[in-house]
Amino acid sequence: MKLLQAFDQTLAPGKRDGLSARLDAVIRQTEAGGKELVDYTFRQTLFLGLILIGSACVMVLASAVAYWRLKKKFA
């Protein structure tokens, strides 16, 4: 019964504007937090991609140098 009374008081005509304003603030804060999370994730993914591409380039270069030296040694 107390829960129903509290719910009725929350949705009373005079308190709807205050509730709407609070919900609007919470929604804006949530949107901002979500946008920050997406931006952070995107940057971290790009950084990881650059690291992986750089590692692949180093591995190809190291393999080419090793092949060149072995070819020179056994030729």
- Number of domains, the chain: 1
Instruction: Give the contacts of 10 (CB within 8 A, at least 6 positions apart).
Output: 19
The answer to whether 7 and 16 are in contact (CB under 8 A) is no
Residue 75: band (very low, low, confident or very high) from pLDDT cuts 50, 70, 90: confident
Which runs of consecutive H residues, i.e. helices, occur in 1-75?
Answer: 2-10, 16-74
Domain hosting residue 39, numbered range:
2-74
Give how far the C-alpha of residue 13 lies from the chain's centroid of Cα atoms, to the nearest Å. 40
Per-residue CA distances from 34 to 20, 28, 40 (Å)? 21, 10, 10
Over the stretch 27-71, which tens digit does the pLDDT of each residue have?
999 999 999 999 999 999 999 999 999 999 999 999 999 999 999
